[in-house]
A = this chain, B = another copy of it.
Amino acid sequence: MIQADAEILSVRRDGAYYHMSFAAPGIADGFRPGHFVAIAVDDAHILRRAFSIRSASTKAGGALQIIVSPKGPGTQWLVRRRAGDIINVIAPLGQPFRLPTEPVPCVLVGGGYGVAPLFELANQLRARGCGVEIIVGAGDAARLHGVVEARRVSDAVHVTTDDGSAGEQGRVTDPLRRILAEGRHPAVYACGPMAMLQAVSEVSAEFGAVAQCAVEESMACGVGVCMTCVLPVIGDDGVTRMVRSCTEGPVFFGDRVRWSDVGTVPADTLGSPEARDD
């Protein structure tokens, strides 16, 4: 994990998103798919913004690529930067996706900019001999990201949009359900909105596949010291705890996250007010 001033190499618009790439000496070495980077923005905003690392090249001193959706002031500031500007970054952060030890066929599911960490994941899975199918979904065609690149790194790509403006109309779980019904895929990897992750976890469980999901919770520090980014996760001991998604995540096993309870403290959580009223 390295904190560094990084020079922006390029900022390029792509539909609703921006590709950004910046020099990041030393960071690429430790990178594994699922890691994220925390970037400091303008003086008026003191908290860093978190982004999945899309890819990390070790060439020319090392560079990172991210995909930015300009949503609020911090991300809008970021996409207005130009090549040559300096940003302060901390990376790689978080727990990455765990790779299967056997060469099994895998399904990767990305919603919106959530496909960002899946390309490198696909590369690494295929390098281990895993089959890779990628499902790319979004609200509409403008918010679909990386379909072309997905084709390059996988055996098959399935595209869905809510409004049918590209690919098949529907949810990512439609193709997922069809693929898992083949009964061949033990591993699912997903990144995208929480509702999608919940649905992917449920469908995976239904077919006995293990889902790993990269979640997105509001983060103040990104390094594990503030406790803002928690969600209820069931531990190996069966006990639910409010767990930090920045250090223990962002990747969690889908069947361990209590998706329906996100945003609450379930009564049976360790140390919950109810548990303490005894």
A42 to B73, CA, bound (A): 13
Q: Is A43 an interface residue (CB 8 A)?
A: yes
Of chain B, the residue at the smallest CB distance from A43 is B44
Quickly give the copy total for this chain. Answer: 2
Q: Which of A55-112 contact B (CB under 8 A)?
A: 73
Q: Which of A10-51 contact B (CB under 8 A)?
A: 42-44
A73 to B43, CA, bound (A): 11
Task: Determine the chain B residues whose CB is within 8 A of the CB of A43 once the complex forms.
Answer: 42-44, 73
Task: Determine the chain B residues whose CB is within 8 A of the CB of A44 once the complex forms.
Answer: 42-44
A111 to B42, CA, bound (A): 35
Task: Determine the chain B residues whose CB is within 8 A of the CB of A42 once the complex forms.
Answer: 42-44
| B-contact bits for A104-144, CB 8 A (1 contact / 0 none) | 00000000000000000000000000000000000000000
A6 to B42, CA, bound (A): 22
A44 to B73, CA, bound (A): 12
A43 to B77, CA, bound (A): 11
Task: Determine the chain B residues whose CB is within 8 A of the CB of A73 once the complex forms.
Answer: 43
What's the least CB distance linking A101 to chain B, in Å?
50
Of chain B, the residue at the smallest CB distance from A46 is B44
A73 to B42, CA, bound (A): 13
A44 to B44, CA, bound (A): 4
A194 to B73, CA, bound (A): 40
A42 to B43, CA, bound (A): 9
Of chain B, the residue at the smallest CB distance from A73 is B43
A259 to B39, CA, bound (A): 50
A43 to B42, CA, bound (A): 9
What's the least CB distance linking A40 to chain B, in Å?
13
What's the least CB distance linking A110 to chain B, in Å?
33
A42 to B44, CA, bound (A): 8
What's the least CB distance linking A165 to chain B, in Å?
34
Q: List 7 A-B contacts (CB under 8 A).
A: A42-B42, A42-B43, A42-B44, A43-B43, A43-B44, A43-B73, A44-B44
User: Could you tell me which A residues sit within 8 Å of B by CB distance?
Assistant: 42-44, 73
7 smallest beta-carbon distances between A and B, as pairs: A43-B44, A44-B44, A42-B43, A42-B44, A42-B42, A43-B43, A43-B73
